[in-house]
Homo-oligomer: A and B are copies of this chain.
Amino acid sequence: MENSHAIILIYCPDRPGLVAAVTDFINVNGGNIVGLEQHVDRQEGTFFMRVEWELSNFVISKEKIGEYFQTLYANKFNMTFQLYFNDYVPKMAVFVSKMSHCLFDILARYTAGEWKVEIPLIISNHEDLRWVAEKFGIEFHVFKVNKNNKDIIEAEQMALLKEKNIDFIVLARYMQIVSDNFIHNYHDKIINIHHSFLPAFVGARPYHAAYERGVKIIGATSHYVTAELDAGPIIEQDVTRISHRDSIQDLVSKGQDLEKIVLSHAIEHHINRRVLVYKNKTILFS
């Protein structure tokens, strides 16, 4: 069996000795570092770090690592940190509407065992993709949202997500805006795919806007959802070349290939604990 690993993501004000302090903590207590990446944002004066280490000979128990690190280092260096263990399998809910391309890409990877994740349920505002969920044996729940029932529906959705112990949510071309309250409950844990190269073409119908503007390249952007529409921290982007020969339908078709790959890569980064959000930007550890 794979060894148990701890992963810590840290940020704090930059100062000398931070790398040595953290690596020392792991080494002297019997941990074996298998990955370390640090970054200093000189403009912000902020230090970022991701360290992953094997726990087999680590003298501090998994339950106590967080407490010890807080007491011995985080307090001293004013660090904010997140601690994960690679043997925990996170639970992910997928929200969809009518388009299947992102959902199929997610489920193909899921069933092929590419990701260490569990998908207990798919939520939609339409019945259209129920057959896909059923093919893959995943619960499918339809919530018919409208202007008047949004609060109630979201409360029901939230109850369901809690019941299933959902850790994070993927909006796989879910064509609804979720409320600030909903976002607040899954802060930096809702991953959206927007079908443009943000910040260009925020909002509805970006392919139509791209066509109108006559751009020569289109893109897709995966980001964490925040209160401001399409303005959250960007996780991943990609682009493809188009020409005057492409109709709006061609843009939609070419864009869908971007969307599904970009979204799946963003999900993978999130699952692998490689994304650290800081001030509406992401540090993407490699």
Contact = CB atoms under 8 A, between A and B. Distances in A.
A253 B114 contact: yes
A59 to B, nearest CB: 14
Contacts of A238: 217
Contact of A281 (B19, B24, B38, B244): B244
Nearest to A242: B237
Contacts of A215: 198-199, 234, 237
A111 B108 CA distance: 14
A259 B281 CA distance: 25
Interface string A15-30: 0110110011011000
A25 to B, nearest CB: 9
A180 B241 CA distance: 31
A236 interface: yes
Contacts of A43: 247-248
A236 B238 CA distance: 18
Interface residues of A, number: 68
A20 B24 contact: yes
Contacts of A48: 244
B247 A42 contact: yes
A213 interface: yes
Contact of A34 (B23, B40, B100, B219): B40
Contacts of A31: 16
Interface in A224-249: 233-239, 241, 243-245, 247-248
21 contacts: A19-B19, A20-B20, A20-B23, A20-B26, A43-B247, A100-B112, A104-B104, A104-B107, A104-B108, A108-B108, A197-B200, A198-B215, A200-B200, A214-B280, A215-B234, A216-B234, A216-B237, A217-B239, A244-B281, A244-B284, A261-B261
Given A104-B104, A114-B253, 14 more contacts: A20-B20, A37-B38, A43-B247, A101-B108, A104-B108, A198-B200, A198-B213, A199-B213, A215-B237, A216-B234, A244-B283, A245-B286, A257-B261, A257-B264
Interface of A: 16-17, 19-20, 23-24, 26-27, 31-43, 48, 100-101, 104-105, 107-109, 111-112, 114, 135-136, 197-201, 213-217, 219, 233-239, 241, 243-245, 247-248, 253, 257, 261, 264, 280-284, 286
